[in-house]
Amino acid sequence: MHAYESNPGEKAPEKIEAGGDGYINPDLDSKTESVEDNEVFTSLPGQTDFRTLGWVRAAIILMKLCFATGVLAIPSAFSVVGYGPGIILLVCWGSMTTYYAYIMYAFRMKYRGVHNIADAAAVMGGPIAREVAGGLFLLTWILATGSGFIGLAQGLKILANGKVCTVVWTMIAALCTALVASIRTLGKLAILTWIGFASIFTAVFIVVVGVTQVDRPAAAPQTGPFDLGVISVGTPGFVAGLTAAINLFAGFGSTPTFMPVIAEMKVPKSFPKALFSSQGALAACYIAFGTVVYIYCGEYVASPSLASAGGTIEKIAYGISVPGFIMTSTLWVHLAAKFLLVRILRDSEHLQSNSFTHWATWLGSTIGITILSFVIAEAVPFFSYLIGLIGSLCCAPTCLVIPALMGLYMDQGSHRSSKRMMAVCALHCFTIVLGLFVTIAGTYTTIQSIINAYNSGTVGGAFTCA
Instruction: List the single range of 282-296, 308-322, 334-348 with lowest mean pLDDT.
Output: 308-322
pLDDT of residue 466: 59
Domains of the chain: 50-218+233-456 (1.10.4160.10)
For residue 358, pLDDT beyond 70? yes
**Selection from 46, 41, 68 nearest residue 141 by Cα:** 68
pLDDT of residue 28: 39
Mean local confidence (pLDDT), 436-452: 86
Q: Are 262 and 108 in contact (CB under 8 A)?
A: yes
| Helices assigned H by DSSP within 114-237 | 117-159, 166-181, 186-213
How far is 282 from 101, CA to CA, in rounded Å? 14
pLDDT band at 464 (very low <50, low <70, confident <90, very high): low
**What is the residue-averaged pLDDT of the chain?**
84
**Selection from 426, 428, 421 nearest residue 99 by Cα:** 428
198-250 confidence digits (pLDDT tens): 998 998 899 889 888 888 887 778 777 878 888 999 999 888 898 889 889 98
Q: Are 304 and 154 in contact (CB under 8 A)?
A: yes
50-74 confidence digits (pLDDT tens): 999 999 999 999 999 988 766 778 8
244-282 confidence digits (pLDDT tens): 898 899 889 889 999 999 999 999 999 999 999 999 999
Query: How buried is 239 (Cβ within 10 angstroms: 0-12 exposed, 13-18 middle, 19+ buried)?
Result: middle
**Phi and psi dihedrals of 15, rounded to 5?**
-80, 140
Mean local confidence (pLDDT), 375-386: 75
For residue 9, pLDDT beyond 70? no
How far is 403 from 226, CA to CA, in rounded Å? 47
Give the amino acid at 398. Answer: T
pLDDT band at 11 (very low <50, low <70, confident <90, very high): very low
Mean local confidence (pLDDT), 352-359: 93
How far is 450 from 447, CA to CA, in rounded Å? 5
For residue 45, pLDDT beyond 80? no
Question: Of residues 415 and 420, which shows the higher confidence score?
Answer: 420
How far is 297 from 217, CA to CA, in rounded Å? 6
pLDDT band at 299 (very low <50, low <70, confident <90, very high): confident
The structure's pTM equals 0.85
124-147 confidence digits (pLDDT tens): 999 999 999 999 999 999 988 988
